[in-house]
A and B are shown apart, each in its own frame.
Chain A
């Protein structure tokens, strides 16, 4: 059991991961210089979805999404949905891992083999995972505290910005802006971890507040990064920058450190670590409802499978394809499905109480 205030760190650190390296370009392609509106919109959307998620979970009191599925849809279809959710978490895990490896290979060590970074990271994740749930939450906390100093580094590129690039506001079609918001999915998902973590919270009446704080912090960070990016890069330049955030950092220069982005890339391991641990943990919570497996067995099997997969996806195009596919599925699973589930849960509850009253 953990305190509700730790949810702030859990939600926030699962949301921020590898997506922030290069989300600017993806939105910019749709919404042009109004991209920041897209970010704002998707930020608001996360708050709305979180309200639905919490309401659904409150109906059941102390059950996670997997249990809710089994209750609403029955054993077979419920388990089928659980399976989809486990696959989703695993894909998220894989995607974070593979994207990070790619960044390390392009920016710092072009000749470093994939298996080496993959194995190193997986061992670290296994180590954290076997420590148990509280250790994972602890990692989220430290990831936040140790990495938050990266945000003020945006001041350096700020001196090369022209605020004029943001004008005229709302020039683009509202549909394009919404499309931009949708393409932000890959970057902003992560708060669905709430579905699984909810039963482990001690003081449940504080959950709402801390979840929304976490989401707000994420939105503010994404918003500031996109605003600086639009003002710092010119249109085509942003379109061509695959990792715009790292390019932003490449202008940072200290007397004792010449190439700051190298530090940033290496430091990012701390930022993705809670991502990996929490997605792995979420997949584990689902799996124990489907098959009989203990945590050590699970984590080793899972890691070996992911390790194999990480070797098979090699090129930029393939990684991009995985990201896009994940983003598309993720949008419906995270931004549409929770509302549906809430309605079903309410109906189910009404149905059962009526039945009980009759009986």
Chain B
């Protein structure tokens, strides 16, 4: 019995001492923080990786390596052959797709990224205007680590609800869902900065359209709900009482900060199909381009009405564009599927219906407060 006990302790120690299954020492690996995919020559895939190398003695440095291969994994192996340290993707934060590749289709990449257990669901996905390679390889004066910079840029804007959230999970969710299409941010280089320039609209896996950053507000308004986004809107001068709009431009700009929004979508006719979309926005007014007397409740009421109308008009315009390019960024299909029993919806079937869909948009806007100074 004593012998068995000793053996147990021996085996236990053996396992715990040699128990480091796979060592990944920080000094010996290169951390990929960002991956960019482009369409290469001869249907190859061009991959650019931003690799951060941690060095105990010196400041950690950032390396940008690119390779061309048929598959994503193949290019990874090729990149590995070009670096002194083993490439790891556990710290990857952003995946970028070149515009051309996005138009060609990113379905395969979503599938591969979802399959890999190394990549987490919270990676941010975005499209680059032009090529990712040229964006990443450009020597920015102010930016040391382009990978982390782009990540922070996107994350910060998504967190502050200035941009549609595009984590890998959400992108994969929309890609595999029946009644909602992918919408992800577009970034581009603007001289010495990287900026978010708009929103890419997808039909299944293919990029089919683009919206400006201003318009992206409406896409997000119809997809998710806002808690704290700021947006700018213009209302025509003649809509407001004349006494209030002296010395103001033809189109009066108003800046609103949303406090909370509510949305109700109802399918009222499954044949056409026709939807009623009722959005309630509560916000605070930050800026207005007219010298209005907001002590007067009548004026405030009128202003609220006009802002609501203006939001509705813009929403309609964006929706018509989405229908034109056949991308259901609004997620109307999800409402259709969940309201109609035994619809047996498929992607094709829904998109046929979607092109003729009619949406009656109504927006109720309320100004909760308008600053400390009237």
Interface residues of A (CB under 8 A from B): 106-109, 111-112, 116, 120, 123, 127, 160, 162, 164-165, 167-168, 171, 232-237, 239-240, 247, 250-251, 253, 258-259, 261
Contact = CB atoms under 8 A, between A and B. Distances in A.
B342 interface: yes
A109 B21 contact: yes
B22 interface: yes
B15 A123 contact: yes
Contact of B178 (A235, A251, A259): A235
B8 A250 contact: no
B15 A253 contact: no
B177 A236 contact: yes
A237 B176 contact: yes
Nearest to A113: B21
Contact of B173 (A116, A123, A164, A237): A237
Given A120-B15, A123-B12, A234-B174, A253 B122 contact: yes
Nearest to B178: A235
Nearest to B18: A116
A171 B341 contact: yes
30 contacts: A107-B117, A108-B117, A123-B8, A123-B15, A127-B8, A160-B173, A164-B334, A164-B335, A167-B339, A168-B340, A168-B341, A171-B341, A171-B342, A233-B176, A234-B172, A234-B173, A234-B178, A235-B177, A236-B177, A237-B114, A237-B177, A240-B114, A240-B176, A250-B121, A251-B120, A251-B121, A251-B122, A253-B120, A258-B120, A261-B120
Interface string B165-177: 0010110111111
A232 B183 CA distance: 18
Nearest to A243: B117
Nearest to B334: A164
A167 B176 contact: no
B249 interface: no
B347 to A, nearest CB: 10
B177 A111 contact: no
Interface in B114-162: 114, 117, 120-122
A106 B117 contact: yes
B241 interface: no
B176 A236 contact: yes
Contacts of B177: 234-237
Contacts of B260: none
A168 B338 contact: yes
A31 B104 CA distance: 35
A79 B174 CA distance: 55
Nearest to B170: A160
B262 to A, nearest CB: 15
A120 B12 CA distance: 9
A296 B263 CA distance: 66
A112 B20 CA distance: 10
Given A167-B338, A258-B90, 17 more contacts: A108-B117, A109-B22, A123-B11, A123-B15, A127-B8, A168-B341, A171-B342, A232-B173, A234-B175, A234-B180, A235-B177, A236-B177, A237-B114, A250-B120, A251-B167, A258-B91, A258-B120
Contacts of A233: 173, 176
Contacts of B334: 162, 164-165
Interface string B5-18: 00010011001000
B112 to A, nearest CB: 12
Contacts of A237: 114, 172-173, 175-177
Contact of B339 (A123, A160, A168, A235): A168
- Of A235, A239, A261, most B-chain CB atoms within 10 Å: A235
> Would you list the 10 A-B pairs with minimal beta carbon distance, nearest first?
A234-B177, A236-B176, A167-B338, A237-B176, A234-B176, A234-B173, A251-B121, A250-B121, A109-B21, A107-B117
A200 to B, nearest CB: 25
Contact of A164 (B12, B21, B91, B338): B338
A251 B339 contact: no
Interface in B332-346: 334-335, 338-342
Nearest to A253: B122
A233 B176 CA distance: 9
A273 B217 CA distance: 51
Contacts of A253: 120, 122
Contacts of B21: 109, 112, 116
A247 B310 CA distance: 41
A210 to B, nearest CB: 34
A265 to B, nearest CB: 10
A250 B120 CA distance: 6
Residue picked from B117, B122, B334, most chain A C-beta under 10 Å: B117
